[in-house]
Structure 1
Amino acid sequence: MADFLESKSTNLQRAFLIGVQTSDMPDGEGTELLAELRELVENLGITVTRAVLVNLRSPTPATLLGSGKTTELIDLAHEDEADVIVIDETLSPAQQRNWEKQSEIAVIDRQEVILEVFADRAHTREAVLQVALARMEYSLPRLTRAWTHLSRQRGKGSLGGEGETQLEQDRRIVRDRITRLKAELIEVRQQRDVQRRRRLRVPVPTAAIVGYTNAGKSSLLNALTGAHVLAENKLFATLDPTTRQLLLRGNQKLLVTDTVGFIRRLPHGLVEAFKATLEEVVVADFLIHVLDLTNPNFAKHHATTLAVLDELGATGKTILTVFNKDDAATDALRSQARGLAPDALFVSAKTGAGLPALEDHCVELIANTLASTELLVPHERYDVIARLHSLGDVQEQEHRDDGVYLRGRFPATQAGLFGPFVLAPKR
């Protein structure tokens, strides 16, 4: 049978947007979030007929916005011949049903829009599974929306009638799907863990690129490594982590991973569902936090990313802040950026400006995680010397009569390789 979760019309072409500015929100934040919602909706190929901002003193249980304001907005949506009303808040299942009953129009909230955008972008098995799990968990308490036409058919017998029976069947179907999806995700995570352990057999430093969606993370990865990762000017262009090797000066290798972009009011269910993807952030040696210098809201994007990192348990990581798109920025924005992050770097993935400085900082961060060691390697063991150059940071090298002197920082996991050649400390 047709999937009941897809029972709402798939021919939604015109959206009426409602933003909310509450008393506990900073001035103007409602307007910024509404603009972001417009971009999310338009990324789904839906035309926005109108976007209205509502000043909300206190939410009401029935419709969030109160009966008078709700009626007024529904009239405007009908006037625009909208197919869907999108509210930039998290609606309870009851509020969503009340809106749809009164308006006779499909009504969705910000969470559902983000879920749909993620679903549209998911391609690999892992991303598809993660999105499917988040959508199922979101939909479970809202199943009555799909079967409102059966409510009129309910009987008076002890079994409750057709609508109730169908609803219980649907709930069981969704719970079974959630169980299967979680099992499949465990399998995917185990496969990813095996891949990671293989990488760690030859320990190479790792960095994860994080940041707000559409900040230019994939473009930066491409510019640094010469990769060809999908990099489009749209929200959540890629959901799947991509790891590429970056060769730094001194033949130092660094594995760089591009991660899914963050967004304000990211549904908690998506954070949970995407932990398999975002766990690359947790295990990385350091993070490269990319911000779009041309976006006037980069300070809020900066705060959002740090909040999500905190939720992931990654706040203790060393973070290198990088402002991208410097080639298109104004002096005023650069000044504002320096005030937000005085030690930040300014780069352009498009022109390549600032990338050498970024690579030098990566070398320094790698070196800072390792202890300084002095070695004397026999001349005939150039295999050891070459390996040390590839795995660590060789800061000094000198050819002597009794061997090659090296001073540098090397991973402790490679002590078996360089241990026999360590020089005793001078007294």
Structure 2
Amino acid sequence: MPSVKHNPWLICAFYGVHSMMFPAAIFPLFWTRDIGMSVATMMSVQAFFNLSIALFEFPSGYIADRLGHRRALVLGSVSILAGWLAYALARSLWSVVLAELVLGVGFSLISGADAALLYDSLREQGKEHEFARWYGRMRSAAQISSGSAALVAGFLYARWSRLPFAIEVACWVVALGIALRFGETARAQPRVEDHLGRMRAVVRGALVERADLRAVMLLGVVFALAAYLPTWLMALYATESGASVTWIGPMWAVASFTTALGSMLSEGAGRRLGMTGTLLACLALVAAGYLGLALSHHALGFAFYFLLTFVRGLHMPLLHHEEQRLVPDDDRASCVSLRSFLFRAAFALLGPAVGMGVDRHGHRPVLWASGALMVALTLVALGLFRARAARPSHQENRV
């Protein structure tokens, strides 16, 4: 079995390939032009994708804790490879739904296992304090790869609408090869006779009994939702505002690069501003981003979206380090997957409503209402975070 010593760098490389998603920037064009979807259907498909991940999210995290995080990452890579192959062959709405379902299973297996393997690998080497730094590197590698892929996505789509998906299949062959080189950490596996009971105990502990962990998880969900909700609207928002279709790839690339920048600055912001100060700055950026999108009618108005993508990178390393510090060792991936489940379920509820709102009223009124909702939810989550109880140590000055 490979050593865990190289896991941090391998995980960064894995995420670099994992996030080189050539189809991502052209999805709205592919769905509407090649498959014939409306905006409402498009958002409903994304809601289905997030729901399919949500349904498998927590069970897959629990499975990863029982089988091992390396095995979960390998199995997830195999499923995602099959999903992109199905997408390359998709010709109808239902074939897209099937591809999304297979991808959902794969991404749910990876979700939670990746951060858990990184944390346990560092802790096994006595470097647990470096988690935020490595998580920031992992996210930066992911976003730089995503942005680089977006730069050529439009060109690939113009050459052949299936070409981005064919290249994505090749990327996941490479990702699977990297996953096979991960080392599994030496974790003692607890004896579990009642798995359903253990899963209920994990949920109860994270969301009911542990006020500190619940507050951190809910705040992570709200910030992720605020940054993610407009993602699939921006291509149509930009073109309807007068931007050229050729801008879509570069726009997606800049969005990824700003997320990478936020991830790289996250640890330093935590040291200078503290956890609370950094999160308040994120709240201000969320409010400014939605307000700018709702009020702007200029072709470059989509630039306000970059404030939201910057927030996506800035908050994650800090909050995820706090989350990893608080979760039980034996259920690390389970708790991370539970938080991802909450995010996916929330998007599955809001996504179709946003899509129908855009079809009926246009982008700007919907972005105005969505922004007001996101700011309100973030304020509530921040209040819970500030008031969280039973925190073992003060994280603000340590990250």
Whose RCO is larger (CA < 8 A, sep 6+)? 2
With structure 1 as the length reference, what TM-score do the two structures score?
Answer: 0.24
More helix by share: 2
